[in-house]
Amino acid sequence: MRYTQLTQEERYQIHAFKQTGYSQTEVAAIVGRDKGTVSRELRRNQGLKGYRPRQAHRLALARATRAAYQQPGLAASRSVAAQRAEPGADRRSA
């Protein structure tokens, strides 16, 4: 099964069903998502004012954008940069 991100519409549905008293399991069945997905969505995007679907969608898009710009070999290049920054790393042996 291929993973797809929640849409803005699904986030609004989750919000509406939770507001009317449905359980997370019931919401997941209605929206057609796994109950873990609904649980994670609500937990990850719970703020002081509760779950806010518009803000949740905006944050999800920002996370996806950041992930898209991460390069596969970035961790390795950082360790090389750290080695170069060590004292004496730029000295040449005679």
Q: Is the pTM of this model over 0.75?
A: no
Cα Rg of the chain (Å, integer):
21
Report which residue type is found at 66.
R
The share of the chain scoring above pLDDT 70, in percent, equals 71
Strand partners, 50: 47
pLDDT confidence tier of residue 87, bands split at 50, 70 and 90 = low
Over residues 37-46, the pLDDT tens digits come to: 999 999 999 9
Res 73: pLDDT: 56
Over residues 46-79, the pLDDT tens digits come to: 989 999 999 999 999 998 887 777 756 555 555 5
Q: Would you say how long the chain is, in residues?
A: 94
